[in-house]
Structure 1
Amino acid sequence: MKYLYAFIIFSFLSAYNFSSAQNVAPTPPMGWNSYNCYGSAVHEDEVKANADYMAQNLKQYNWQYVVVDFLWSYDNPPGSNIGNPFQKRLDDGSYIPWLTMDKWGRLSPQPNKFPSAFGGKGFGPLAAYVHSLGLKFGIHVMRGIPRQAVWAKSPIKGANGITADMVADTNSKCPWMNHMYGLDMNKPGAQEYLNSILELYAGWGVDFIKVDDLSRPYSEREVAGYKKAIDNCGRPIVLSLSPGATPVKEEAHLIQNANMWRMADDFWDNWKEIIGMMNYAEQWQGKGGNGHWPDCDMIQIGKLSKRGPVGQERFSRFTEDEEYTHMTFWSIFRSPLMLGGNLPENRPFELQLFNNSEVIAVNQQGEDPRELYKKDGNVVWYSHVQGRKDIYVAMFNLNEQASDVAVSFAALGLKGKVSVRDLWKKQDIGTFKQAYHQQVNKHGAALFKLSVK
């Protein structure tokens, strides 16, 4: 009988883990990330201000994640720019500046930037504040284990007698920041270290982790290690992998282990990068779905680079037409939507790009986005409306002058009269036979829902 009970318990837990995995990111995650406007130098009050804005203006449209990016354990004095993220190694092998770290070699928020973390509280108080607004809380982390933990031979929680120096792969290094070593996942204690940090994050109330330096080159064992740690931490947590380009050949492993992954390197407010992102998306079409999403990177609209990391403080360099293209493509492709600008500085135009429920529905409810054609600088993508025969269609003009962009109904499998609704304008345009075409501004876009009458 005891074996029967054990089997029932095992089956229940297995079903729970599977169900939990399916319930994480069933649609592309939507939220805000601090990196594009604050770099490594975001402070707690600024995170709260962005969370407040989201709760007041965007939550009802399904924007929900508030993510603290990049070096939250690193000290940036108030008003500083991104600075040099490298640590200096001293003669005795220690490091300055010393990252905020507990006795188990786990990084914690720097209290000068996050005062509520003082006294070992970590991100718990800030996460609780975000949750009190009806939102979810996320953090950025670097792959691996801190080098200063390796120097200090910090014990690993849950791995009796094993210390950080015994699990680090000192040949596995991030090329642009010297804070971490990779983990040798073949060594006893490596998985326990990941388990310990996810236990810590779950205790803080973290709902989302963006793991950096993991996709290029693709660290298969470490990706699986983070997924295993999440599955055993007792809290549903979205796993986002960064940066790209993530290899397309890793599709099966990604779908099994990650919720979103970057298709390309960091995206910024440069028109050529939108064209580049469309090219990356061609490689990934048909591969996104419930719980796993190819990621076009953050949305470069609004006030950017207030303290670095790229260029001077500015509103996005995209024209209004380019911003429509930016939002339209991210929506039709079903990329995660992570706003990169400082939300409290949004002007009416930025807000109207983010609060159009009909456009957001394309991102959250469209099915199987595909490129229909690309010809002479005109591009058309489409996806299916869930549970209906309707089709979402996005037109793009990549040319340097206005262009007439057309879509054939037969190419989409539509027959008879077709009604066309402009989703950006929230207006019905009319009923058409065979095809619909429209003049689109240079670098511009249009987004429609087609319905058979």
Structure 2
Amino acid sequence: MLKKIITTLLSFSFLLCGNFPVSIFYMEEAKASSFNSLGDRPFMGWSSWSSIRKKPTEQNIKDAADVMAAKFKSHGYQYVNLDDYYMLDWTTTVDKYGRWVVDPKKFPSGMKALGDYIHHKGLKFGLYVTLGIPQGAVDQNTPIEGTLYHAKDIVDLRKGQKVNFNFKNMYAIDFSKPGAQEYIDSWAQLFASYGVDYLKIDGVRNQDIQDVEAWAKALKKTGRPIHVELSNNLDIKHASTWKELSNGWRTDHDVEAYGKPTLTNWKKVSRRFDDAAEWHKHAGPGGWNDFDSLNVANGGKDGLTEEEKRSYVSLWAIASSQFVIGNDLTKLDDYGISLLTNDEIIGANQSGVAGKRLYKTAASQVFYQKLPDGSYNIVLFNTGPSSQNASVKWADLGVEGSAMVHDMWSHQDLSSMDSGFTTELSSHASRMVHVIPTSLSGNRYTPYDVKISSVPAAPDWVMVDRKDQNSVTITWNPVYGAESYTVYRKTINRFGFSSGYTLIAANLTEPNFEDKTATFRAGGSYSYVVTGKNAIGESAKSPKAQSDSQSFVLVAIPMMLFFTVIILLKLFSTIRDKYQLYRTA
């Protein structure tokens, strides 16, 4: 997929001379989040909140997953995120350890089954939580899992309630008390048992940093890679803290137009221009600014003109915001789909560079990304009420001489521009272009072949499930830039000894493989690693995943007996030798 985006973005008929290799910025070259090694690039997915709001069900989330897999997964979208209102009223109903209870009427099969459904589509499963401990847990003084402590041992009723947008009554936790961290640990383990890959933590304020730290620790302890997103309207003064503890943070209030018949409006969207300018320096591999969801594909329900919708997506793309669809996926219009699946625009969003604002006037703004190969992505916006020209001067970008211009929305090559670029824009319209200074090739104007110069990242989240007595299924997350995958296996005997990894499957184009030679062996197991490949080469190996976990009875006890016998034989031999020596004496 990444190759498709890069090739589309760079294979222009007017490109520079000769075989000129371009350095593409791959995310694995950059440092990910310090606490969970995720968030190499802005996440792409869908959230239930904008369109479903208070009425999520097992079926409408499955329906969304079906559409995501069919229409959007091939363009890089991965996450299906269930937001609020999936739980029972926690002021009275909590589980035996004081955590929220999933509403069995809305989700009769439970969260684990829903997560499995989403994963089998090759997608990731997201869920929602707010800070604190529920009133129901405190009233019932529920035990904290794995400890001798109870809810009343950790609650701090002196402080105000935590922000919650549903049933309220989430009480503060005193993290100086024993059992406090363990309570959050138990909740994180519960989410991990569902198969959660993403967690939105809502209602975060400056005074909640200790709570967020507790959740970051707890999620890391699960051993499961879980993307952490903080919401909403976070304080930029604590940007370094948000980045240390999460993979993304909402920079403003919700984009939804509450109380209106539409999902959003231009006033809500245009607030993000200043957000993009102020927050850009805090975004990068490991953590990204989150401007909220994209509501551009439900026709008039969106509350925007077609030009406003395109500007909406262009701003999110140039700023490298999290790229989250908010629309009802069962009622998509063709224009909206075209906006959300334009691979050149997605390429800008996934470039790893958060765009900066170059100009701001009363009625226009220009943002740009300077890419590692020396080229630029630029968006010119008309933010005013009437048509006007918008311009960018190459000199203001530090570009000397002329540059060649390509329209990223229409995929049209324009021409070489001597000193800048000017375009006429209607009200709230925009133009997004890719610009290549001709100085990169000594100011020559002949075509060349673009060559990608990096291998893909290692696949992650490899899972092994035994299908029957003779076979297992291996699945993993698809990797940007991988044209195929290779699977390696090693066999581990009941004593824990194994050979090295050997190749068992190559040139796989889907992120799954059935190993039909993995015969079940009591006490033994199989270990698998996966790599991605493209024209440049093969990635590093994925983290290993193992089948048929060896039991203590079948492995540890035989090994203990084996070494016990050796020790007893040695002891017997020593006693015998001493006895014979005694008799001789």
> Residue type matched to 2:211 in 1?
E
What's the counterpart of residue 143 of structure 2?
A: 155
Choose the corresponding residue for 1:53, options 64, 67, 71: 67
CA distance in 2, matches of 1:68, 1:49: 12
> Residue type matched to 2:182 in 1?
E
CA distance in 2, matches of 1:356, 1:19: 28
What's the counterpart of residue 37 of structure 1?
A: 51
1:382 aligns with 2:375: no
Partner of 2:350, secondary structure, is helix
1:182 aligns with 2:167: no
CA distance in 2, matches of 1:286, 1:198: 31
Q: Which runs of 4+ in 1 moved over 3 A?
A: 18-23, 174-177
Task: Tell whether the 8 Å contact from 2:375 to 2:437 is kept in structure 1 after alignment.
Answer: yes
Alignment of 1:41-190 (within 5 A): 41-74=55-88, 95=91, 98-99=92-93, 101-117=94-110, 123-158=111-146, 160-170=147-157, 171-174=159-162, 176-177=165-166, 178-190=168-180
Task: Tell whether the 8 Å contact from 1:20 to 1:236 is kept in structure 2 after alignment.
Answer: no
> Residue type matched to 1:133 in 2?
K
Deviations 1:63-104 (A, max 9, x none): 1100000021137xxxxxxxxxxx7xxxxxxx4xx44x3211
What's the counterpart of residue 249 of structure 1?
A: 237
What's the counterpart of residue 292 of structure 2?
A: 297
CA distance in 2, matches of 1:219, 1:253: 11
1:414 aligns with 2:403: no
Deviations 1:391-437 (A, max 9, x none): 10011101111110000111112222211111111111111111101
CA distance in 2, matches of 1:282, 1:147: 41
Task: Tell whether the 8 Å contact from 1:366 to 1:392 is kept in structure 2 after alignment.
Answer: no
CA distance in 1, matches of 2:416, 2:252: 39
> Residue type matched to 1:422 in 2?
D
CA distance in 1, matches of 2:79, 2:207: 25
Choose the corresponding residue for 2:358, options 350, 369, 372: 372
Choose the corresponding residue for 1:432, options 396, 417, 420: 417
1:343 aligns with 2:329: yes
Gaps of 5+ in 2: 1-31, 257-263, 439-585
Task: Tell whether the 8 Å contact from 2:391 to 2:422 is kept in structure 1 after alignment.
Answer: yes
> Residue type matched to 2:68 in 1?
M
Q: TM-score, normalised by structure 2?
A: 0.66
CA distance in 1, matches of 2:279, 2:383: 20
Task: Tell whether the 8 Å contact from 2:240 to 2:282 is kept in structure 1 after alignment.
Answer: no
CA distance in 2, matches of 1:321, 1:21: 40
Gaps of 5+ in 1: 1-17, 76-86, 88-94, 118-122, 305-313
CA distance in 2, matches of 1:183, 1:403: 55
What's the counterpart of residue 317 of structure 2?
A: 331
> Residue type matched to 1:190 in 2?
A
Deviations 1:151-177 (A, max 9, x none): 11111113x221112212232314554
* 1:218 to 1:321, Cα distance in 2 relative to 1, 3 A: farther
Partner of 1:150, secondary structure, is helix
Alignment of 1:262-341 (within 5 A): 262-268=250-256, 269-303=264-298, 315-341=301-327
CA distance in 1, matches of 2:208, 2:280: 23
1:21 deviates by 4.3
Task: Tell whether the 8 Å contact from 2:33 to 2:286 is kept in structure 1 after alignment.
Answer: no
What's the counterpart of residue 356 of structure 1?
A: 342
* 1:203 to 1:194, Cα distance in 2 relative to 1, 3 A: same
Q: Which structure has the greater CA radius of gyration? A: 2
CA distance in 2, matches of 1:57, 1:376: 39
1:376 deviates by 3.0
> Residue type matched to 2:305 in 1?
T
Deviations 1:344-381 (A, max 9, x none): 21010110011000000111114242100101311000
1:403 aligns with 2:388: yes
1:111 deviates by 1.1
1:237 deviates by 0.5
> Residue type matched to 1:68 in 2?
L
Deviations 1:269-320 (A, max 9, x none): 121122212122222121100111121111122349xxxxxxxxx6100111
Task: Tell whether the 8 Å contact from 2:185 to 2:219 is kept in structure 1 after alignment.
Answer: yes
CA distance in 2, matches of 1:297, 1:136: 19
> Residue type matched to 2:277 in 1?
E
Task: Tell whether the 8 Å contact from 1:332 to 1:366 is kept in structure 2 after alignment.
Answer: no
> Residue type matched to 1:346 in 2?
L
Residues paired across the two proteins, number:
398
1:19 deviates by 8.5
CA distance in 1, matches of 2:313, 2:207: 28
> Residue type matched to 2:313 in 1?
M
CA distance in 2, matches of 1:108, 1:395: 48
1:217 deviates by 4.0
CA distance in 2, matches of 1:444, 1:393: 14
Task: Tell whether the 8 Å contact from 1:369 to 1:382 is kept in structure 2 after alignment.
Answer: yes
* 1:22 to 1:157, Cα distance in 2 relative to 1, 3 A: closer
CA distance in 1, matches of 2:391, 2:339: 24
1:25 deviates by 1.4
What's the counterpart of residue 568 of structure 2?
A: none
* 1:22 to 1:239, Cα distance in 2 relative to 1, 3 A: closer
